[in-house]
Amino acid sequence: MMMDKRATEAMVLENEVANVTLDSIGEAVLRTDVQGKVTYLNRKAEEMTGWRREEARGRPMADVLRLIESVGGPAVGNAVGIAIQEDRATKETAECTNCVLVRRDGFQCGIERKVTAIQDQDGSVTGAVVAFHDVSAARAKSLEMSHLAEHDALTDLPNRVLFKDRLTQAIALAERQGKQLAVMFVDLDHFKKINDSLGHDVGDKLLQSVAGRLIACVRRSDTVSRLGGDEFVVLLAQVEHAEDAAYSARKILRTLAAPHIIDNKSLDINVSIGVSTYPNDGEDAEGLINRADNAMYEAKEHGRNNCRFFRHEMHARLAERQSLEADLRCALGRNELLLHYQPKLNLQTGEITGVEALIRWLHPQRGMIYPAQFVSIAEDCGLIVPIGQWVLLEACKQAQTWRDSGLGVVPLSVNVSAAEFGAKDFLSGVRAVLIATGVEPQHLELELTESVLMRDAEAAVVNLLKLKAMGVQLAIDDFGTGYSSFTYLRRFPSDALKLHQSFVQEITADPADAAIVSAMINLGRSLKQRVIAEGVETRAQLKFLQLHGCGEGQGYYFSPPVVAEQATKLVEDGIQARVVH
Ligand code: C2E
Ligand code: CA
């Protein structure tokens, strides 16, 4: 008897110790008897269910621990009953990983729960223990993480991964319903200029503003995504005809063209849009995005701020471009590049004032390729920088050969493209070539097109001044085509203006062009520039230029670009006769 009492006391004490222990842990614990009636709740379980221990005791567990599968979802099955029946004494069940606990006052929170059957010493089941804890914060975090993984941090738009996913689903739906859809590739024109000149902060805000307007332009069922940089892509999920996509594209062009007010500054930005449609232009997400990208590229080439639809010829053109690009990567190493030289003449005396180096590519299969076909490719893939260095060195070496052979000094012009001019080591490269070849800086003229200079006129002024300080001559190429502002023209420290051949060729046919050319000659003279007319092909054009006081000329009428040996002969023999007669 005595022993029994002690044993009971010991058990009570043990129970109390156990309860105190259970109260102090972070996990909520609920015990039931074999019928699934509640026998115990620890403090945490009281807090989470809203039931006090005394009130809950004896009630069916489902009343106290009200569980649903997700917020607003169906009730969760009776795991306790199952655990007891199946006698999972040793196995823990954690099958309800996504369930929601409804507190007595209706408040809901996500929990994770484990159910374990309890056995007595004989091994028969006497009830179950349910342990659970609040996982709402962790779930919210993981939702946030998956949102972050699928969205662009700057604009909160779906990123490429999510966009492709949505596009793939939309394609599957369109296929089932026999419908069309369209993918629009939207790229900001000259965004880099804004970023570079006004700073990344302004650039970022501009991208956010663009994102907002794009969303406002499309339907809720459409998806706007930012692929990165200044590239956006739009999925138009419901398209009846191609005209619907054209309508949306026009709307986007119009909406984005209105000034964006960023930090109290009004910024104008245009976009180029390329469109591809399903099923015409491709059957899968990747193909449709690529083709919209191709079409966007084409839109940019045709003057920006416009929209192009993908055409199959575009694809062929792109494949051709890619094949040329691959070959061009090897061209330098295989010695396939060469220079032709075209003389420039003094239009009064007929003397050769210099030669312009013009690049050619002798392709092993395709034969001679002219710069119009590969310079823009080289610019796009960055190859223009090493190619330009080669041109400069090769031309200066030729000048050195002419000088050493006793032909005297032949001033040399070399064309410089935007990527070269903007490259960090351009100036030091020019200096190195001059030193290596011994060409006097004043005998080298660099030709920069007006559009290259105007792209970032402020930076251009700085760079030109540095070149000028080095002593090289500077010419503005394709003058008249790049919308130079007069402010900048005055600030560019150039020595010569080269009138674009399109004006020169019309001077005898079109009175308007004649007036423009004579005005440009006067402008050049008043800015103290040498004026060089390009593309002189006829005697009549020559006469006009002479009459209007144009200093120099270049063109087929005098000589086409020729290989070095022929250029040597031209310089030796002179071609005054073409001018003076
Ligand atoms: P550009 O600087 O305007 O060069 C003049 C172009 O007009 C040359 O074409 C020349 O062959 C052509 N031309 C000369 N006289 C006449 C004429 O009387 N009538 C007509 N219709 N055309 C004439 P080319 O050699 O095909 O070069 C085209 C463009 O490629 C050049 O235009 C220049 O911008 C670029 N380029 C050429 N060589 C280089 C180079 O080494 N580096 C870079 N970056 N660009 C180059
Ligand atoms: Ca030129």
Task: For residues 542 and 98, give the distance between their C-alpha atoms in angstroms, rounded to a whole number.
Answer: 86
What stretches of 457-541 adopt beta strand conformation (E)?
473-479, 496-499, 530-533
391 lines ligand 1 (CB under 6 A): yes
549 lines ligand 1 (CB under 6 A): no
- Tell me the domains of the chain and their CATH numbers: 2-141 (3.30.450.20), 151-321 (3.30.70.270), 338-565 (3.20.20.450)
Q: Whose CA is nearest to atom 41 of ligand 1?
A: 359
Q: What is the pLDDT of residue 90?
A: 46
Beta bridge partners of 496: 475, 530
Ligand 1 centre distance from Cα of residue 425 (Å): 25
Q: Which atom of ligand 1 is nearest to the CA of 339?
A: 41
> What count of other Cβ atoms lies within 10 Å of the Cβ of residue 545?
25
Q: Whose CA is nearest to atom 20 of ligand 1?
A: 535
DSSP conformation letters of 68-100: ESSTT-PBPP-HHHHHHHHT-SS--B---SSEE
Q: What is the pLDDT of residue 450?
A: 86
277 lines ligand 1 (CB under 6 A): no
Q: Whose CA is nearest to atom 3 of ligand 1?
A: 478
Q: Whose CA is nearest to atom 12 of ligand 1?
A: 535
Ordered per-residue pLDDT tens for the chain, 581 residues = 455 677 677 667 667 777 778 888 889 999 999 899 999 999 999 999 999 999 999 999 999 999 888 766 666 666 667 767 665 544 455 456 678 999 999 999 899 888 888 888 888 888 899 999 998 888 888 888 888 889 999 999 999 999 999 999 999 999 998 889 999 999 998 888 888 888 899 999 999 999 999 999 999 889 999 998 999 999 999 888 878 899 999 999 999 999 999 998 899 998 999 999 999 999 999 999 999 999 998 898 887 788 899 988 877 888 888 899 999 999 999 999 999 999 999 999 999 999 999 999 999 999 999 999 999 899 988 899 999 999 999 999 999 999 999 998 999 999 999 889 988 899 999 999 999 999 999 999 999 998 888 878 888 999 999 999 999 999 999 888 766 667 778 888 999 999 999 889 989 888 888 898 999 999 999 999 999 999 999 999 999 999 999 999 999 999 999 999 999 999 999 888 778 76
Whose tokens are 């007006």? That residue is 450
Answer yes or no: are the C-beta atoms of 365 and 398 closer than 8 Å.
no
Task: For residues 130 and 42, give the distance between their C-alpha atoms in angstroms, rounded to a whole number.
Answer: 11
Q: What is the pLDDT of residue 370?
A: 96
Ligand 1 centre distance from Cα of residue 449 (Å): 11
User: Ligand 1: which of 356, 358, 374, 376 to mutate, most ligand atoms within 8 Å of CB?
Assistant: 358
Task: For residues 279 and 411, give the distance between their C-alpha atoms in angstroms, rounded to a whole number.
Answer: 58
288 lines ligand 1 (CB under 6 A): no
Q: Whose CA is nearest to atom 45 of ligand 1?
A: 415
HSE at residue 25, side-chain half, CA atoms within 13 A, is: 15
User: Ligand 1: which of 415, 444, 556 to mutate, most ligand atoms within 8 Å of CB?
Assistant: 415
Q: Whose CA is nearest to atom 35 of ligand 1?
A: 371
> What count of other Cβ atoms lies within 10 Å of the Cβ of residue 336?
16
337 lines ligand 1 (CB under 6 A): no
Task: For residues 303 and 185, give the distance between their C-alpha atoms in angstroms, rounded to a whole number.
Answer: 16
Q: Does the pTM of the predicted model rise above 0.75?
A: no
Answer yes or no: are the C-beta atoms of 336 and 534 closer than 8 Å.
no
Q: Whose CA is nearest to atom 34 of ligand 1?
A: 415
Ligand 1 centre distance from Cα of residue 575 (Å): 20
Q: What is the pLDDT of residue 95?
A: 56
User: In sequence order, which ranges of 383-425 are alpha helices (DSSP H)?
Assistant: 384-404, 418-422
Amino acid in position 497: L
Retrieve residue 246's tokens.
């054209």
Q: Which atom of ligand 1 is nearest to the CA of 375?
A: 45
- For the chain, what's the residue count? 581
Task: For residues 61 and 38, give the distance between their C-alpha atoms in angstroms, rounded to a whole number.
Answer: 5
Q: Whose CA is nearest to atom 8 of ligand 1?
A: 358
Q: What is the pLDDT of residue 421?
A: 92
> What count of other Cβ atoms lies within 10 Å of the Cβ of residue 181?
22
